[in-house]
Chain A
Amino acid sequence: MLFLIIKRILLGLITLFIVSIITFVGTEILPGDACTTYLERQAFGEQLEACYKRLGLNVPAYERYVSWALNAIQGDFGYSLSGEMPIKDVLGPKIKNSLVLASAAIFIGIPIALILGIVTALWRDKLPDVAISTFTIFAMTIPEFISATLLILIVAIWLEWLPGIVIVPTDVTFFELLPNIILPVIAIAMIMTAHMARMVRSSVIQVMASDYVQMAILKGVPYWKMVFKHVLPNALLPAINVVALTIAWLLGGVVVTEVVFNYPGLGRLVIESISNRDLPVVQALALILASIYVSINLLADLMTLMLNPRLKTLQIRK
């Protein structure tokens, strides 16, 4: 058991190591570099060389990779080119803003997905299932930028209930922020919730068809007792991993949604840093987002390991 846990953690670290190489190489082969972008037309001769020296670009790529990676582990990603600010300070508030959005979507989305998934599975092919399943197909397939645009058009412009574009000063209380983030949270939560609901549905249906549930029915176990005691624990265990993958996928959707709502989070930073060729920021973003993905998946793996009764008996047999 302990061995399994350590192995998962090691695998996660190896994945992150490869990600760091990929992002470093990926940004390295982009045409142009920090100095040509920064100096623009004056990028030749002495000035260019001085700039290379100042930013430490005159040493071979692998040496730069090692020093970059070593600093990155300590949370120091170097300096952003456009603002000449430490990347830590650029990223900090934006990450916080994006986390507010993403975690609100997750906390609203997971319970709704569980309820919808269980309802549709228990009333399979009946009216509630057909209605909800049709809705989830729409919610799941329509891109975030379309649902976000439609939400703005209908709720903000036609009905005028909520602001369509987020204009938030940096230090506001949660309740002042709340009306601003309702629409973005709905847009983000929709796809994720629909995916999870469908997954929970099929998982519950599978368990309901299994032999031991049939046995419980024959034995005369009350329906709801059977659902809560025998079906759900077994159906939701495999769901944990898929939920983790869905949350990780949400990171991409957050970027697009933030751009639509003009929300001051990671999304706009991603777009700006790539258009400005601010490569140190791009590298830092890739690494941070990948670490979030890897740790969410690791967490899900570990949770499945802990909760799976079969692994406990495995330990005893050993």
Chain B
Amino acid sequence: MKFNNISEEGKKSSFSKVLEVLKTMASKPSGFIGLSILVFHIILAVISPYIAPYDYKAIDPAMMLSAPSSEFWFGTDDLGRDVFTRTILGGRTALTVTFFGSLIALLWGGLLGIFCGLVGGKIDDVVMRVVDAFLSIPWILAMLLIVSLLGTTTEVLIPALGFFYGKGIVRVARAATHDVIAKDFIVSARARGHSNFSIMWNEIIPNVRDAILVEGAMRWSWMLLGFSSLSFLGFGVSPPTPDWGLMISNGRGLMSFAYWSVIAPIVGLSSLIIGINLTADAFAKALGIDRATKAPV
């Protein structure tokens, strides 16, 4: 009974801690704007199938490339499909893939980094060399290879992006672990005879969690950038799935007389990326971590 009470109290305090972080984030204008944009996009992604005025793949040759009107708010594209419908649906795949992708990146990158920082020695050397090697292959080339190897379905893209963007997290988690590992409470845990696993779980993870979470939030925006670049180049989600990157690349050739087919997806994608970035910034500040000293690896 007593133990139950303690664990329940622990849960409560962690929940209120989350609330507190959110409050700190929203207290600054940039954090508030970022959070609002992100929440707006998430809500839109959930409800858009129910509020979309047209079928996203309904082709209407008679209405090809018609300008914005009361009937088609954002105009129509080269196949006569409603741009408004496709724009509000266009973020769903991107959001889902990159969100779960960043979770995977966080998990494997964080755990491997902590492990390497903890054990050190030869294993650490070897893993870090391999991570360095992966870091030095340009992301665009690696992603294109993976996608042409495994296809572009969501089930492939999530683990592929998660794997590829996790390598930078390994370094961050390892560095954070190195900062913690020299502290007295680790030495005393070792002296008490705790196993490496127990030290990792009970002592290190709670102390490096913030740094890894911030890193993961940053990865999210870069992953979104990578994902939409892939769609833009024609290697991402396949048509007729509505996707901003794909819509921009389709509308690009016709934008000298039908600018509306690119403007709407550009606003959608840019606002989401800016929202995630501002949120990640505010998150880092709320946890007391300086984000600006990091390079985009």
Those of B251-292 within 8 Å (CB) of chain A? 252, 255-256, 259, 262, 266, 269-270, 273-274, 277-278, 281, 290, 292
Q: Complex formed: what's the CA distance from A270 to B273 in Å?
A: 26
Residues on the A chain within 8 Å of B292, using CB: 198-199, 201-202
A282-B140 in contact given A137-B277, A150-B266 (Cβ < 8 Å): no
Q: Complex formed: what's the CA distance from A150 to B148 in Å?
A: 29
Task: Determine the main DSSP class of A at the interface with B.
Answer: helix
Interface residues in A, total, Cβ within 8 A: 59
A199 close to B293 (CB less than 8 A): yes
Residues on the A chain within 8 Å of B144, using CB: 270-271, 274
A153 close to B262 (CB less than 8 A): yes
Q: Complex formed: what's the CA distance from A274 to B233 in Å?
A: 12
Question: Is B193 an interface residue when CB atoms closer than 8 A count as contact?
Answer: no
Question: Is A55 an interface residue when CB atoms closer than 8 A count as contact?
Answer: no
Interface residues in B, total, Cβ within 8 A: 48
Residues on the B chain within 8 Å of A138, using CB: 274
Interface bits A14-43 vs B (CB < 8 Å: 1, else 0) = 111011001100110111000000000000
Question: Is B51 an interface residue when CB atoms closer than 8 A count as contact?
Answer: no
Nearest CB in chain A: distance from B142 CB, A:
8
Instruction: Name the contact of B137 in the complex, choosing from A153, A255, A286 (C-beta under 8 A).
Output: A286
A290-B137 in contact given A138-B274, A143-B225, A145-B229 (Cβ < 8 Å): yes
Instruction: Name the contact of A256 in the complex, choosing from B148, B221, B232 (C-beta under 8 A).
Output: B232
Stretch at the interface among A81-89, A108-116, A243-251: A243-251
Those of B226-267 within 8 Å (CB) of chain A? 228-229, 232-233, 235, 245, 248-249, 252, 255-256, 259, 262, 266
Residues on the A chain within 8 Å of B121, using CB: none
A19 close to B136 (CB less than 8 A): yes
A256-B274 in contact given A246-B295, A274-B144, A293-B136 (Cβ < 8 Å): no
Question: Is A233 an interface residue when CB atoms closer than 8 A count as contact?
Answer: no
Nearest CB in chain A: distance from B95 CB, A:
15
Instruction: Name the contact of A29 in the complex, choosing from B149, B269, B273 (C-beta under 8 A).
Output: B149
Stretch at the interface among B3-11, B76-84, B126-134, B197-205: B126-134
B295 close to A245 (CB less than 8 A): yes
A18 close to B148 (CB less than 8 A): no
Question: Is B138 an interface residue when CB atoms closer than 8 A count as contact?
Answer: yes
Nearest CB in chain B: distance from A195 CB, A:
6
B138 close to A293 (CB less than 8 A): yes
Question: Is A141 an interface residue when CB atoms closer than 8 A count as contact?
Answer: yes
Those of B112-146 within 8 Å (CB) of chain A? 129-130, 132-142, 144-145
Question: Is B297 an interface residue when CB atoms closer than 8 A count as contact?
Answer: yes
Which A residues lie at the B interface, using CB under 8 A?
11, 14-16, 18-19, 22-23, 26-27, 29-31, 137-138, 140-146, 149-150, 152-153, 157, 195, 198-199, 201-203, 238, 241-242, 245-246, 248-249, 251-252, 255-256, 259-260, 270-271, 274-275, 277, 282, 285-286, 289-290, 293-294, 297
Nearest first, the 3 A-B pairs at minimum CB distance are: A245-B295, A18-B133, A202-B292
